[in-house]
Structure 1
Amino acid sequence: MKIFTAEQIRSWDQFTIVHEPVSSVQLMERAAGAVAGWISEYCKNHKKLAVFCGNGNNGGDGLAVARMLYLKGFDVDVFVDDPKGKFSDDAAVNLKRLRDISGISVRKFNTSEDYSFDDKTIIVDALLGTGLSRPLGGDYRLLVEQLNKKENIRLSIDIPSGLPADGQHDDDDFVAVEADYTLSFQCWKRSFLHPETGKYTGKVVVLDIGLSREYSGSEGTDYFVADDHLAGSVFRPRKEFSHKGNHGKAVIIGGSYGKLGAAVLATQSALKTGAGLTFTIAPACGYEILQSTCPEAMFIEGGKQFITGFEADEISTYGIGPGLGTDPETEKCLLHFLKKYSRPLILDADALNTVAKKTENVKLIPENSIITPHPKEFERLFGPTKDSFERLALARKKAKELNIYIVLKDHHTQIITPEVAVYYNITGNAGLAKGGSGDILTGILTSLAAQGYSPEQACVLGVWLHGRAADLAAEKHSKESMLPSDVIDELGAVFKELNKWAAVSL
């Protein structure tokens, strides 16, 4: 799914109006119908709504939603700044339609202080949409602060009021509605996908309101969502007459005394992701552990207590870093390897920490390689940034400069290509915030790359696969109790889903 800017979304609306054709107020009706349909389906235990509407088109959406839900049997009260004030043309049409129905009260914002918000009341935010270009101030800020203090469910239409669509305000003290749900139209907004701003959205639900497919197909963007559809389009089902030689040779290089679990997790996930042959290069102290926990993988000794040397071949795909440690001999061995090795590989964890010790080391990373830093590792590699937006901008610059793929781990992990395209992953959950989760991802990426997926395909499918398995693990065990090994156990279920989707699309 493409991610468009607020300006592109306005153009998308206008293109649809001209080319469908459909009037702007009819398009508003369509959007409101999608919102009202979702609320009536999923909010059956809450029959009372307090709908806060601004004077613009987002407010017009809210006015139309209020009318529709009242006719569906909801108890609805509407709040506006001034019922006699100036509204946008389409909002004014919907205000008139609302007034033509008896039973819906239209109140001023300032009366909300004395309004009875019982525990069955949902607050619907339709104050301000994607056109907002500055932080909230004045009465709107005070109203939003007041609504945020309520314990009621808050539901925002299209975007939480006060939140910019394309980034974040320069003012760190900005205020936005803290939504429990955001019912957004047609596509994700970038601000939903970064921690500084995404925390305001709650659960995001993207509603299809029938905007022009011609526009979305031809309009360019560098930003995408790695969703189920994209992952399914990348996945290649296993051919019936294939053999192990058709599915590549994955080699995990990692482990040191006390950190062998990381190498085990990476190896197990590489095996579960389907590599034809899987090897683990680890120190001798891990021999019994790896052979007993990963009997399907072959062990190659690379040292005694930590790795001090290994040889490379030209037919293997290497994933280096899980539990590697930073012993001077290990670091020397790794840097020597990078100086003579030129094929793409996957670098994570202590491999990245070793590279980060000298600025010039980043140039040793082979072109088209995949690196998977978390924010602190990224900072060690490329320097500090003030927030995730600036970090992403720097990652795009470095991916292009070094001709590598950067998997920037976060709540919505970002995949950055050398062409500076960005894919935001939307699978996964906070249960992955545990040691070992990154080691699993390294194994998955190494396995997919070994099987012949391009670096971009391996990143998109691998990160999605990792997150989707984590979502299934959380359903079974909870985010708190799920373990990285539980995520590995769910990889098979995810591949079943992918194969089912592939069969349906034939």
Structure 2
Amino acid sequence: MKIFTAEQIRAWDQFTISHEPVPSIQLMERASIAVAHWISENCKYHRKAVVFCGNGNNGGDGIAVARMLYQKGFDVDVFVNNLKEKFSHDALVNLKRLRDISGISIKKFSDIDDYNFDDKTMIVDALFGTGLSRSLEGEYKEVVNQLNAKKNIKISIDVPSGLPTDKIIENKDCVFNADYTLSFQSWKRTFLHPEAGEYTGKVFILDIDLSKEYAESVAAEYNVIDDHLIDSIFQPRKEFSHKGTYGKVMMIAGSYGKVGAAVLATKSALKTGAGLTFTLAPECGYEILQTSCPEAMFFAGGKEHIENFDVDENMTCGIGPGLGTHPQTEKSFLNFLKGYNTPLILDADALNMISKDSKNLKFIPEKSILTPHPKEFERLFGKTDNSFDRLELAREKAKELHVYIVLKDHHTQIINPKGEVYYNITGNAGLAKGGSGDILTGILTSLLAQGYSEEDTCILGVWLHGKAADFASEKYSKESMLPTDVINELGSVFKELNKRTEKDL
């Protein structure tokens, strides 16, 4: 799914209006029907809606939603700033329709203090949409601050008022703090970054049937990984295949006290379907690995840390989990890197050793996959002020080094050597535990060994990792789920993928 800028979204609306063709008021009606339907289906306890409307088209959506919710049996009141203000044409049409309904009161912002917000009241924000290009100020800022102080359920239409769609918010900006955001047709970039995403609550993308021709023909540098993309990438297991069909994985991981990281990476590589899996680890991990991962073969790379990076060229290597940064490990690893030309998956301590000298970056083989978390990224490439700037720096470095960067975050970003970005929306806060990154390294190494391209490996691997975590959180909760639970749920994800790709009889 492409992510469009606010300007492109406006153009998308206009393209739909002129090419379908459909009147703009009817397009507003579509959007409002989708919002009213979602609220009526999901907010059965909260039977009273208070809708705060601006005088633009987002306000027009809100006014139409108020009418529709009333028709569905909700008690509804509408707040506007000033009825004498100039409304957009379509907002004014809906305001006139609303006035014909005697059961809905239209109030002013100044009436908020005297209004009874009981526990069955939901607040619907339709003050400003994607067209807002400035910070909230004056009465709008005051009313948003008042509403944010309420404990009621809060729902934003399209975007939380005050939240820009294409740039980071300023620290002092006032933004409506939604519990749910009902947005139209596609994700907005700010929803996917921690500095802004905290204002959206849970996001639902509502299809209002905007022009598919526009969506397909207009280029976008930013994308969201969706089921359609995953289904186009996933390759079901072939019936007439053997272990050689699915490649050889070499996990280079572990050191004294950190053998568990090697176990997690090895197990996840096995569970993701690698044909043959090997683990290069120190001798101190031999019994642990052979006992916990009997399906994998063990190679000793040293006694308590890896000193020997001896790898066959036909193996796909994932390097870094629990590796440590012992001087001998570092020396051997960098020497290995200088003489190796095949794409690698580099994580954790592999990245930390590279980051000690910027000259080491040039030794990374082209098309390699780097999987830094924010701190590791900072060590590699430098400090940035926020996640937007960090992503832009990652785009520069991916182009410069001709590598793939998997920038781990709540919504992990995959950046290819052309600078294109794919945001992942599977996964949850249960992954915020040590060992989660080791699992991802194993998954990526396994997929690359099986013949997926580097880009498809990143997209499918990150999605798989997050999807398995979602299944794990449903079973055990985000608090109690373990990285091993995520590994065990990989099978459930593959069952779902295979079911989706089966041809109907």
Answer yes or no: same fold by TM over 0.5: yes
Cα 1:439–1:505 change in 2 (3 A) is: farther
**Paired position in structure 2 for 1:454:** 453
The one-letter code sitting in structure 2 at the alignment partner of 1:448 is L
- Return the offset for 1:227: 2.0
- Return the offset for 1:505: 7.8
- Secondary structure of 1:490's partner? helix
**Paired position in structure 2 for 1:22:** 22
**Paired position in structure 2 for 1:502:** 501
In the alignment, is residue 163 of structure 1 matched against residue 163 of structure 2? yes
Cα displacement string for residues 316-339 of structure 1 (whole angstroms, at most 9, x for unaligned residues): 100000000000000011101000
**Paired position in structure 1 for 2:96:** 96
- Return the offset for 1:55: 0.4
**Paired position in structure 2 for 1:45:** 45
Cα displacement string for residues 376-410 of structure 1 (whole angstroms, at most 9, x for unaligned residues): 00000000000000000000000000000000000
**Paired position in structure 2 for 1:116:** 116
- Return the offset for 1:313: 1.8
- Return the offset for 1:135: 1.1
In the alignment, is residue 137 of structure 1 matched against residue 137 of structure 2? yes
- CA distance in 1 between partners of 2:387 and 2:40 (Å): 36
**Paired position in structure 1 for 2:223:** 224
- Return the offset for 1:185: 0.2
**Paired position in structure 2 for 1:393:** 392
- Secondary structure of 1:264's partner? helix
The one-letter code sitting in structure 2 at the alignment partner of 1:412 is H
Cα displacement string for residues 201-258 of structure 1 (whole angstroms, at most 9, x for unaligned residues): 0000000000000000001001000122222221000000111000000110010000
Matches within 5 A, 1:352-501: 352-501=351-500
- CA distance in 2 between partners of 1:147 and 1:232 (Å): 42
Cα displacement string for residues 342-390 of structure 1 (whole angstroms, at most 9, x for unaligned residues): 0001000000000000011011110000000000000000000000000
Cα displacement string for residues 141-182 of structure 1 (whole angstroms, at most 9, x for unaligned residues): 11111100100000000000000011223x321111110000
- Return the offset for 1:449: 0.2
Cα 1:480–1:382 change in 2 (3 A) is: same
- CA distance in 1 between partners of 2:90 and 2:143 (Å): 24
TM-score, normalised on structure 1? 0.99
**Paired position in structure 2 for 1:288:** 287
- CA distance in 2 between partners of 1:113 and 1:453 (Å): 60
- Return the offset for 1:101: 1.1
Cα displacement string for residues 189-209 of structure 1 (whole angstroms, at most 9, x for unaligned residues): 000000000010000000000
- Secondary structure of 1:318's partner? strand
- Return the offset for 1:311: 1.4
- Secondary structure of 1:90's partner? helix
- CA distance in 1 between partners of 2:185 and 2:155 (Å): 17
**Paired position in structure 2 for 1:194:** 193
**Paired position in structure 2 for 1:234:** 233
In the alignment, is residue 75 of structure 1 matched against residue 84 of structure 2? no
Kept after mapping to 2: 8 A contact 1:227/1:427: no
- Return the offset for 1:504: 4.9
- CA distance in 2 between partners of 1:248 and 1:332 (Å): 28
- CA distance in 1 between partners of 2:342 and 2:322 (Å): 22
The one-letter code sitting in structure 2 at the alignment partner of 1:32 is S
- CA distance in 2 between partners of 1:228 and 1:437 (Å): 23
Cα 1:447–1:257 change in 2 (3 A) is: same
The one-letter code sitting in structure 2 at the alignment partner of 1:54 is G
- CA distance in 2 between partners of 1:505 and 1:257 (Å): 52
- CA distance in 1 between partners of 2:113 and 2:386 (Å): 36
- CA distance in 2 between partners of 1:14 and 1:301 (Å): 64
> How many residue pairs get matched?
505
Unmatched tracts of structure 2, length 5 or more: none
Kept after mapping to 2: 8 A contact 1:83/1:106: no
- Return the offset for 1:140: 0.7
Cα 1:192–1:282 change in 2 (3 A) is: same
The one-letter code sitting in structure 1 at the alignment partner of 2:410 is H
**Paired position in structure 2 for 1:8:** 8
- CA distance in 2 between partners of 1:310 and 1:31 (Å): 58
**Paired position in structure 1 for 2:60:** 60
**Paired position in structure 2 for 1:153:** 153
- CA distance in 2 between partners of 1:229 and 1:120 (Å): 38
TM-score, normalised on structure 2? 0.99
